Chain A
Amino acid sequence: METHISIRNLNAHYQDQQALKNISLDIPKNQITVIIGPSGCGKTTLLKSMNRFLDLVSGTQISGDVLIDDESIYAPSVDVTEVRKKVGLLLQRPFPLPMSIYDNVAYGLRIHSMHTRGHSLDTAVQHYLEMAGLWDEVKDRLHAPAARLSVGQQQRLCLARGLAVEPEILLGDEPTSALDPLSALNIEKRLMALKEQYTIVLVTHILRQAKRLADYAVFMYLGEMVEHGPAQQVLENPQQERTRAYLEGEF
């Protein structure tokens, strides 16, 4: 198993409170890693440490390190925008940018001037919309405002927008929690298909979803990482008492 993201002794403080306590974790390449744990245990914080989104919250302090392909993303010489290009993020609820469907997908390509390097913008947009499973539904109205799509479609659009900048890693913070069951399944299907090419890290509250998707699982509790390992083991046969209690619904 090849490690893609390596988290080393990571501590994160918000103004007055420690959200992550000395976390060390290796996330395997081209697999789906699922992070579970009760509300407020630091799942989102952990996820945001991997694309430097914690920088956006004023008053956070971070110690320790996160390495992607053995390169620290917190080193002073690193460009955060390059980190975020390499690490895509799917938010809890879709936020289509205030522009057309087409421009949403093309946004990142334009931002990074990627379309000038021999890509045709049109083919790229089509390609990523197809990857996100949205092409057939929108191909006739590419220039309609993205806000007109249904919420489920919007989330797939956000997926396409993230994929378009050619990341290697996809983070998802409960990406299906705002969706109806069918749309959620649709996203799950996409993620399953994408893990061939991407390393995927997902936060979810839905245990069955975790079991359906996870290759690797992490259980967190009150800012600590309690247990991690192959999904089979963590979700079916946990070693730690607290994990067992959570899986049996005691929290």
Chain B
Amino acid sequence: MTNKLLLMPRASRPREVQFPSRRIIDRAGGHAFMMTTAFPLLIVILMIVALLVRTRPILESKPIGDLLLGQTWHPLRGEFGFYPFIIGTLWITLAAMLLAVPPCLLSAVFLAEYARPVIGAIMKPLLDLLAGIPSVVYGVWGLVAIVPWVQTIAAPASQQWLDFLPFFAVNNTTGYSILAGAIVLAVMVAPVIISVTYEVMQAVPDGLRESSLAVGATRWQTIKHVVVPKAAPGILIGIVLGFSRAFGETMAVLMVVGNVPRVPSSIFDPAYPLTALIANNYGEMLSIPLYDSALMGAALVLLMVVLIFNLASALLLQHILRRSQT
């Protein structure tokens, strides 16, 4: 069979019609694409610069040490000590991660290693669904269920049994406390951590498990010595994602932690995280000198922590990957 196209005069073959513009479009499109790739980097730089500029007035009038380590927050008297807020953020985030990580990892291990595959296949999309629930909704739950629980059950119980422990002292709690914030955040980040961990454990080849079981290891030994070390980088990513989300959360925390600018000494004390500080005072910040500058400074602190934390975890991840791959 002859190809009709080949019999046509060369100039009229459809495939041969060279749009002179094809190459130009490719080049121009390439430039356009490459230009947009600069956008995220520009935004990050612009955010840092903008917040720095807005923070400058207060940085010029107060030494940075006084700001970061100052204990009193009294905008009307011109006192802007961030220390209670920084400590509050740290307490809440760390407590949330301590509460969230062990049960989440165990749940993910259960789903990936013990439960029947069907159950994992049902739970995974369900968890992804729950991960999308807005943080105010978690806040509402905290307000309705957790704050009263802390006040009427957890705090009295702790007073009775755990009072001697350093971080468990109870002095007249209203329920609005670090513990309430941490519980809300822990539940909020749980779907993220479980979902990521489950996925990376699923990606561990079955041959590895079989190799371990074949020499007579129990399932748990196989998990502990083979599956978890193999999945470690991915699990770390899951934890980092959860941490980022907990650290930057505003609304859900603000609704349940009490917002008292004092350095906490117990998980039953109220606290005031940086995010809540900004959200609560945006209305009046322009009416008091340096106030807006101080709040933008708080935003800058948050951004810097995210920056450092991300860079550190990227380096750590590279380190782990290099060690486990080769």
Chain A residues within 8 Å of B, Cβ to Cβ: 51, 53, 56, 58, 81-85, 88-89, 91, 93, 95-99, 107-108, 111-112, 145, 147-148, 158, 161-162, 164-165
Contacts and interface: CB of A to CB of B under 8 A. Distances in A.
A51 B214 contact: yes
Given A56-B213, A111-B216, 11 more contacts: A58-B116, A83-B216, A84-B215, A98-B229, A108-B217, A111-B215, A111-B221, A111-B225, A112-B216, A145-B324, A147-B326
B207 A95 contact: yes
27 contacts: A51-B214, A53-B213, A53-B214, A58-B116, A81-B216, A81-B217, A82-B216, A83-B216, A84-B213, A85-B215, A89-B214, A91-B211, A95-B211, A98-B208, A98-B226, A98-B229, A99-B225, A99-B229, A107-B217, A111-B215, A111-B216, A145-B326, A147-B325, A147-B326, A158-B211, A164-B215, A165-B216
Nearest to B215: A108
A89 B210 CA distance: 9
B215 A93 contact: no
B207 A93 contact: yes
A53 B216 contact: no
B216 A58 contact: no
Given A58-B117, A147-B326, A95 B208 contact: yes
Contacts of B205: 95
A84 B214 contact: yes
A97 B212 contact: yes
A97 B221 CA distance: 13
Interface centre among B213, B218, B226 (most CB of A within 10 A): B213
Contacts of A89: 210, 214
B324 A98 contact: yes
A53 B215 contact: no
Interface in B224-239: 225-226, 229-230
A127 B207 CA distance: 25
B207 A91 contact: yes
B236 to A, nearest CB: 15
A89 B216 CA distance: 10
Given A58-B116, A97-B226, A107-B225, A162 B208 contact: no
A146 B205 CA distance: 16
B214 A81 contact: no
Nearest to B231: A98
A96 B324 CA distance: 12
A206 to B, nearest CB: 21
Nearest to A148: B326
A86 B305 CA distance: 54
The 10 closest A-B pairs by CB, nearest first: A85-B216, A108-B215, A95-B207, A89-B214, A84-B216, A95-B211, A81-B216, A98-B230, A111-B217, A165-B215
Contacts of B215: 84-85, 88, 107-108, 111, 161-162, 164-165
A97 B211 contact: yes
Interface string B184-219: 000000000000000000000101101111111110
Contacts of A107: 212, 215, 217, 225
A107 B215 CA distance: 9
Nearest to B214: A89
Contacts of A96: 211
Nearest to B204: A98
B209 to A, nearest CB: 8
